[in-house]
Amino acid sequence: MKDFNAFLLRGNLVDLAVAVVIGVAFGAVVTALVGDLITPLIAALAGKQDFSGLAFTINHSRFRYGDFIDALLSFAVVASAVFFLVVRPMNALVARRHKDEPATKPCPHCLSEIPRAATVCAFCTRDVQPASG
């Protein structure tokens, strides 16, 4: 039972649970945005009242392609929001972090500039510790 409690209280599991809850809430907001604002706006420009009512019938089977258009718009809005609000800022932070790291370090023995990942100095041929980080 102690192991199970430790598993449940690990930071990763709690973070994942929070992410799922926020993701579901965000999905509901985006669905409402698309269904109540974007779709009617596009439908008004196209001359239709609402996309969700668009359908056709073949052999008594009803194909509601308007609902598919709504779902497609929801996906596009969610993907755009994730890209512009999460992916791009994270890529910018990572690029800035790597930009600040020097590519070389001084050899502790002869003080020549060597690559950060080097384990042997090219100038004095002595062993060196690779730079951390």
Question: Tell me: the pLDDT tens digits for 90-113?
Answer: 888 888 876 767 788 999 999 999
pLDDT on residue 108: 92
% of the chain exceeding 70 in pLDDT? 91
- The rounded distance, in Å, linking the Cα atoms of 31 and 40 is 13
* Tens-place pLDDT, residues 14-52: 778 888 998 889 888 887 887 788 777 877 787 766 677
Q: Mention the CATH class of domain 2-100.
A: mainly alpha
Pick the residue with more confidence: 12 or 106?
106
Q: For 60-71, what is the mean pLDDT?
A: 86
Query: Residue for token digits 């965000």?
Result: 26
Domains of the chain, by residue range, sit at 2-100, 103-133
Give me the numbers of helices (H) and strands (E) for the chain, helices first please: 5, 4
pLDDT on residue 29: 86
pTM above 0.75, yes or no: no
From the CB of residue 121, how many other CB atoms can be counted at a distance below 10 Å? 19
How does strand 113-115 pair with strand 104-106? antiparallel
Which burial class, exposed, middle or buried, applies to 88 when counting CB atoms under 10 A from its CB (0-12, 13-18, 19+)?
exposed
pLDDT on residue 50: 64
